[in-house]
Amino acid sequence: MAITDTQKVDYLFKKLGFAVVKTDTNSAKAAANESIASPLLIRGDKVWQQAGDIPATIPGSSTTEVEVYGSANPVECTGDITATADRTWKTGSIDWIPPEFGSTYLVSVYIHTSSDASNAVDISNKVFIGGSGNNDEWFFDYQAGVLHFIGTNLPNGVNFTGKSVYITGARYIGNFGVGAAAGEDTSLADLTASGTTLGTANAGDDIIIQPTGSGVVDVDTNTALIIPVGTSAQRPSTPLDGMIRFNDDDDKVEVYDGSDWVQVGASTGAISTQTFEGDASTVAFTLNSAADSATIMVTLNGVVQQPTVAYTASGTTLTFSEAPAVGDKIEVRKLGLVTTIRGLSDSDSDTRIQVEESADDDTIRFDAAGTEVLTLENSKSAFSNAVQLASMTTTQRNALTATNGMIIYNTTDNKFQGYANSSWVDFH
């Protein structure tokens, strides 16, 4: 036995109106009493990403997001041969813009001679959505692009022989998918992702994180941030100021300063050594990291060679002006970068020495257990608590190589004493 229309309507009423599953007849369980959720599926790949750019009034000509089919270019439909003759007509295209975007998006329907689109749009050929009063209304499915004469009868007084249905209206042709279209902004609240990689569609494209105003990029973690790792040969071909990476050849972090890659935090005075052997023909030797004539020292059989005269260095290539002889021992010593030290501190940073607390401060500050106890400037020294001078006996004092200005506490005489004019004098 076929499903009754009443049951079909009850299913649609519950599905569309209440987003629940139909589990019983309406008489046994009304829609409000159904409890199993069954929302309509919204496919992410079919979301109109640029729906906000569709104007409220159908434009006079096509745009990036809207394809307009007007009086000059109506769509000629083809009849659906699987349905009753002349009952259903297909535009062959989907995503027509419905009147919810504006009343002017309501499609218009014309019946006219086939293959004569230029003369189809005329009031004499038009059939109206409400029909002619002969139960001959039509319905247009905007998503599928299909027109259906939904009334009991076909349009009154129309002979479809040699004719087609023509449609005017507009279709959405913008981007699809969740998120903003390429080149457009999107606003997101806090975003939590799991097992997700942020990438680019095209090789070589940049990923830019750009805070507004004085905002900063804050990587909020107490573990670590992994920066790019690669060899010297894998450095960017066109480096930009501020680029930072870990050099896998040197095992050092390096940053591009606008003219060269420089190591970050290299040990002061660190020297690395690389050796070669001459063969009487080779003049160019490959270094294991980039260098120049100012950062390496080259010896030949233990004799220091003069830079820019006996050899030059550029990038990872060391070039001699003359090929070293067979068996000549070549040693290249690369001088490490000298790190500028702005302070020393203990593990919890409450006891420390600072030489530049702020930009161009030029004051040496000594902190102990979180309190500043001494500052040294070019014109004065300032203590914030008691100063304990060197204490010694008269015998120990006399053993000093004294100079004017020395101050001690003499434990033999229990006196503060200073050395002036070639003798020790009491302060009190």
Q: How far apart are CA 344 and CA 239, in angstroms?
A: 33
Q: What percent of the chain has pLDDT over 70?
A: 93
Our measurement of the distance from residue 173's CA atom to the centroid of its chain's CA atoms, rounded to an integer in Å, reads 28
Q: How far apart are CA 57 and CA 330, in angstroms?
A: 80
Range from 255-264, 289-298, 340-349, 408-417 carrying the lowest mean pLDDT: 340-349
Name which of 252, 249, 278 is nearest 264 in CA terms. 252
pLDDT of res. 196 = 76
What's the Cα-to-Cα distance from 206 to each of 227, 241, 258, rounded to whole Å?
A: 15, 15, 19
Q: How far apart are CA 282 and CA 324, in angstroms?
A: 7
Q: How far apart are CA 378 and CA 384, in angstroms?
A: 18
pLDDT of res. 261 = 85
The arithmetic mean of pLDDT across residues 395-424, rounded, is 92
The arithmetic mean of pLDDT across residues 70-89, rounded, is 95
Name which of 33, 50, 160 is nearest 101 in CA terms. 50
Q: Which position has the higher pLDDT, 268 or 196?
A: 196
- Confidence band, pLDDT 50/70/90 cuts, at residue 340: low
- Per-residue pLDDT at 212 exceeds 80: yes
pLDDT of res. 97 = 96
pLDDT of res. 269 = 54
- Per-residue pLDDT at 257 exceeds 80: yes
Instruction: Convert the pLDDT of each residue in 177-192 to its tens digit.
Output: 886 666 666 666 677 7
Which residues fall within 8 angstroms of residue 245, CB to CB, at 6 or more apart? 227, 228, 229, 230, 235, 253, 254
Task: Give me the phi and psi of 425, to 5 degrees please.
Answer: -125, 145
Q: How far apart are CA 82 and CA 153, in angstroms?
A: 18
Name which of 139, 118, 117, 119 is nearest 128 in CA terms. 139
Q: How far apart are CA 351 and CA 369, in angstroms?
A: 5
**pTM over cut 0.85:** no
Instruction: Convert the pLDDT of each residue in 34-78 to its tens digit.
Output: 999 998 888 888 999 999 999 999 999 999 999 999 999 999 999
- Confidence band, pLDDT 50/70/90 cuts, at residue 359: low
Q: How far apart are CA 65 and CA 55, in angstroms?
A: 9
